Amino acid sequence: MKIIGVDIGGTTIKGGIVENGEILLFAKRMTNIQLGIEEFKKSLFAVIEELLDETEPNCPIGISSTGDINPLTGSVIYATDSMPDYSGLCLKKLIEDRYHRKTVVLNDSLSALLGEYIYGAGKGLKEVVMLTLGTGVGGGVISNSKLLFGKEFRASRLGHTTLYKNGRPCPCGKKGCIEAYISAKGLLKTAEINGSNFFDVNEIFTCEDHNLIAKIVEEFTNDLISVIENYNAIFDPEVIIIGGGLIMTTDFWWDRLMEKNQTNIKIVPADLGNDSGIIGIAYLAENNFIEGE
C-alpha cells in the first residue's frame, strides 16, 4: 500500500508517498511556525495535499514530528521555543478531522530510528541506538526489539543530556546539553566563538579558512565521540547509527571520528540518509509497530 509519511522539523516539513520502504513522490515546504501556528498548518496541509491524490482513499497518514510526542493521543507534549505555540497541539486530531484518514504521530527521532531498524542500518538487530544530528539533536533507542518510550514518552531525549556542566545555553532551557555543541546550531556557535559567522553549516565546510575547518572538526568529533562512548556504556547496543541533516557533511569529519573510536564501537551512518523519518513513520502508519509489540 502507498502511505503518506510527513516529517515536521524546525525548518522544513518534508513528505513522501512511501511503498515498501521506498519514497515514490516527494514534497517539501518551509515550516513557517515563526510566522504563527496558522501559517504552520498551511504548510503542513500543503505538503499532505500535494501527495493526497496519488494515494488510495483509505491510505493512512503518518506524522513524524519534532518535540516530545504522545504516540497514543498524537499530541505534542512539549516543544522548545524554536516551535512557538506548538506544545499542546493534537496533530492526530488536526489531520484526521481534515482528511478523515487514520493518522499516527511519533517523535521524529524515533521515526528515523524505526526507518533504519526496519529497512536500514539497524535491520535484523535487537539493540540499536540512533543519534539524529540536525538543527538540534535527537535520539532513539530500541532495546530487545522495542522502542524505548518511558513513563511520559520522554525517554531517549539524548540531545538533552549534559555534555558540559554549566555550558552553552540550550533551547530546552538547560545549559551544556549535547544539542548546544554537536547540532548544526552548535557548529555555527563554535564557528562564531572562533571569530566567524555563517548562515548554514555548509558554509563552514566550504569556506577558505582551512585552519578554522580543522579546529571545528576537531572539537565536533571530540564531543561526538564522548557522547557515543557514554551511550554505548549506558545502552550496550549492537550499533550506534548517526543520522540527521549533518550526515550530508560526513566527507569532512567521518574519518576523523572513526580515528577517535578507540573502543571499537560499531558506528555507522544512516542507510536511508535524511529520509529515514518519512520512511519510518510510513511503516508505523501501515503496521501499528507500537501496538503490535
Residue 58: per-residue pLDDT: 87
Tell me the C-alpha distance between 110 and 141, whole Å: 8
CATH architecture label of 3-110+275-292: 2-Layer Sandwich (3.30)
Strand partners, 137: 133
Residue 290: per-residue pLDDT: 58
Q: How far, CA to CA in Å, does 65 sit from each of 7, 137, 164, 243? A: 6, 13, 27, 15
Tell me the C-alpha distance between 214 and 220, whole Å: 10
What is the reported pTM?
0.91
How does DSSP assign 24-78, residue by residue? EEEEEEE--GGG-HHHHHHHHHHHHHHHHTTS-TT--EEEEESSEEETTTTEEEE
Tell me the C-alpha distance between 276 and 284, whole Å: 12
Among the listed residues 58, 66, 51, 60, the one whose alpha carbon sits nearest the alpha carbon of residue 17: 51
Other residues' Cβ atoms within 10 Å of the Cβ of residue 174: 16
Residue 289: per-residue pLDDT: 59
Q: How far, CA to CA in Å, does 231 sit from each of 53, 89, 143, 180? A: 43, 31, 13, 17
Report the interhelical angle of 250-259 vs 210-235 (nearest 10°).
50
Q: What is the residue-level pLDDT of the chain in tens, covering all 293 positions?
A: 899 999 998 889 999 999 999 999 999 999 999 999 999 999 999 999 999 989 988 899 999 999 999 999 999 999 888 899 999 999 999 999 999 999 999 999 999 999 999 999 999 999 999 999 988 899 999 999 999 988 888 887 888 999 999 999 998 889 999 999 999 999 999 999 999 999 999 999 999 999 999 999 999 999 999 999 999 999 999 999 999 889 999 999 999 999 999 888 999 999 998 899 999 999 999 987 554 34
Place of cell 564501537: 265
Phi, psi of 66 (to 5 degrees): -60, 155
Q: How far, CA to CA in Å, does 50 sit from each of 55, 82, 129, 286? A: 11, 26, 33, 20
Provide the residue count of the chain. Answer: 293
Domain ranges of the chain: 3-110+275-292, 125-270
Strand partners, 63: 6, 105
CATH architecture label of 125-270: 2-Layer Sandwich (3.30)
Fold matches, 3-110+275-292 and 125-270: yes
Among the listed residues 130, 146, 118, the one whose alpha carbon sits nearest the alpha carbon of residue 20: 118
Tell me the C-alpha distance between 22 and 16, whole Å: 9
